A and B are shown apart, each in its own frame.
Chain A
Amino acid sequence: MNDDVFALWVYLARTPLLWLTVTILVYCACDRVSAALHRTPLANPVLMSMVLVGLMVRGTGTPYADYFDGAQFIHFLLGPATVALGIPLYQNRQLVLRAIVPMGCALLAGSVTAMVSAVLIARFLGASPMIVASIAPKSVTAAVAMGISGRLGGDPALTAVLVILTGILGAIVVTPLMNLLRVTDMRARGFAAGLAAHGIGTARAFQVDLLAGTFAGIAMGLNALLTAVILPFLL
């Protein structure tokens, strides 16, 4: 009997089906919990799903590469999702064009702040050059950040993790922080979320407000661009 169970496990562990299913269903459950808690920032669906799925992968002794064999089909959609951000952007083009000056100023100030503050703090605390290069692009969307980090002597896989952690952190703090700072302009709130916390911040912004989400998407795209260009000169 135990042998049968083991044989079944060996079979399941080898197909992409298992971890693809687990990832989607765990996310659905966590998203329900987040909705039931009225989208309170701390009940972040990415954070909850990551912890649960991570525990399962660890608990079953599954190598990450095997997990990723299944989960890559979801990961792949990050690219098309970035393209699809063009749709709300086009639909709101009049609003976006009207805000082009504040967007440009906020982009430059925010992008430089995100890079410089991370690099200075890491260096001040005695981080190795590899760690500094891995942390520097943390506010940029994962695929791009990994490319930047690899070119500058960082560890792309570590960068991916730091990017996700930054995104989750940003998505959790953005609403309370903006309320504290008394920023009521949804465009400004969304733009900040997308710039500092890339796609996860953008997902959070879409949860709160459609206009905020649109501006978050723009900020995410522009910051990926600007960081890729500027960062090599800062390190």
Chain B
Amino acid sequence: MLLSLGLILLCQLIGEAIARGTGIAVPGPVIGLVLCVLLLATRDRIGRLAPVELRDGTFEQTGRGILSHLSLLFIPAGVGVVQRLDVLAGNALIIVMALTVSTLLSLAVTAKVFAFVASRTARPSGTP
């Protein structure tokens, strides 16, 4: 459990270091995500040489543990709304319109394009 947590933090740490060091636009945690995938691929490549904790499902369980309460993690930033009530109230119409219309539009466009292209590129043998 502890090793898994440490490795997840290490992925993020290296990710942040790469992001800062190179000045690229990619956020550190996203680089960490890629590193996490590489870590798992390496584990499957080296088989029994990997630490037991990585092979017995503990790593996956730890990740699931963090992800199962993903919603909770947004509350501290969300409560920041109390700081900006004046700006929100002063621009209420703009914000409500821009957020609502843009969110609905981007949800619809993304899903429709995905579904359309997926139906066109699916092999004729027919995966659902």
Contacts and interface: CB of A to CB of B under 8 A. Distances in A.
Interface string A56-69: 01100000100110
Contacts of B97: 121, 125
Contact of B114 (A54, A103, A118, A199): A103
Contacts of A72: 76
Interface string B72-99: 1111111111111001100101110111
A113 interface: yes
A98 B60 CA distance: 23
A235 interface: no
A127 B91 contact: yes
Interface in A59-96: 64, 67-68, 71-72, 74-75, 77-91, 93
A144 B27 contact: yes
Contacts of B9: 80
Contacts, number: 313
Q: Is the interface of B mostly helix, strand, loop or mixed?
A: helix
From B32, B41, B113, name the one whose CB has the most chain A CB atoms within 10 angstroms: B113
B29 A192 contact: no
Interface in A150-168: 155, 157-158, 160-168
A64 B12 CA distance: 27
Contacts of B39: 86
A45 B105 CA distance: 24
Interface in B106-127: 106-118, 121, 127
